[in-house]
Amino acid sequence: MLCPNCQKPLHTLNYHSIIIDLCPLCGGLWFDPKELPAYLETFRAIHEFPPLTLTETIQKPQNIYTLNEQRKKCPRCVLPMNKFNYAYNSNVFLDRCPACQGIWTDRNEIAKAVRFNQGNPLINKLAEAMVREQKDFQQQMDTLKYLSSLASSAPLFFFLPKIILPLADDNPRTSVPWVTLSLIGLNLVIFTSQAVFLPLAEWPLLYERFGLVPARYIAGSRDISIITALFLHGGLFHLLGNMFFLWLFGDNVEERFGKIKFLLFYLSCGFLANWGHVYLNQTSTAPLIGASGAISGIMGAYLILFPKIKVKTLLFFKIIDIPAVVFFISWLGLQLFNGWLANLTHHTSIAWWAHIGGFVFGGSLVYFFKTAKIGLKTTT
């Protein structure tokens, strides 16, 4: 791990049976979750500190969000850390990683934190409650901003690109698409559980933990988030839009692949689409969530397998039948345009290039299978 200040390797120390990480250059300390309270207890027992003065006790808390200091990056996750006031009226600002919950302290901050930890226990409890309330309020505001950004993209997705709003396809199936139905059911169960059991203010924490964060992945955190991100959605419109496309095109592709191969194909498309997003956004700390990459792979497969099938499409408030090849080329063109526009403006809440990557991979793989006559069931 590297020091957030000096970018020098941290040295591991055993401080009275407490393992901590120290920067030998600037004296900063890194604490994994639950290490800081134990360290402070031991530190306070060994060292003596003068009691707080009256001025220190009643000083006005400084607003965390007015600090001009640049956010430090977590030594473990390489994500920007958030400032927090160690005690309500201490004005001792420590840095905490939103992902791993580790805490970074600069030189001399420990001694200041210990002194405020020695205060009246009743006042400390009141201060902790006030800090929690302030934190919850800020998280709620961050969540509302995040959801509003998703909501702002929903009208574009559902109403503006009329040519890519499919309603049905003229492609009957001969068996029940159990894998497609199971994937839809699993996504619905996960989102419903999230909405029922998880407070709205904690949704960003869920996305940080199980969404795909490119900077964290590039830094070496090869966890399962590249797959779990496929089963998280930021809102109801996001979920229903993805599930509708999966149902519309997934059933026929599943029938040609077979159930097990279709599931592997779906996960492979999602994995590679997400990996492509990471490669193109290596410094991004915004979590990627959603099944769009995998579903785009299904759409690429549909184009290769059923190019002449008619797709009922809403076009300028009229329903017309157009060949699948026309529909998907129009859809891909819109993704490319939006991806180019996002790169130009550096502002988007949709991973357009993950859509494009999934589509290209899915279509290319099925083209190979179809040409080589392997891996696909023949039609009768």
pLDDT, averaged in runs of 10, over the chain (380 residues): 88 82 87 82 69 53 55 86 71 82 83 62 53 59 55 42 70 91 96 90 86 84 85 89 92 93 94 89 85 93 93 80 90 82 64 86 90 72
pLDDT for the residue 125: 56
Q: Specify the pTM.
A: 0.59
Cα Rg for the chain, rounded, in angstroms?
26
Q: Which residues pair with 166 in a beta bridge?
A: 313
pLDDT for the residue 65: 46
pLDDT for the residue 346: 60
pLDDT for the residue 339: 75
Exposed (0-12), middle (13-18) or buried (19+): which is 130, by Cβ within 10 Å?
middle
pLDDT for the residue 377: 77
CA distance 283 to 278: 9
pLDDT for the residue 308: 92
pLDDT for the residue 162: 41
Instruction: Kindly list the structural domains of the chain, giving each domain's residue range(s) and its CATH number in brackets, ordered by start.
Output: 11-119 (no CATH), 150-372 (1.20.1540.10)
Q: With CA atoms as reference, report the closest residue to 234 among 343, 159, 152, 336.
A: 152
pLDDT for the residue 255: 92
pLDDT for the residue 342: 66
- Are 214 and 278 spatial neighbours (Cβ–Cβ below 8 Å)? yes
pLDDT for the residue 124: 52
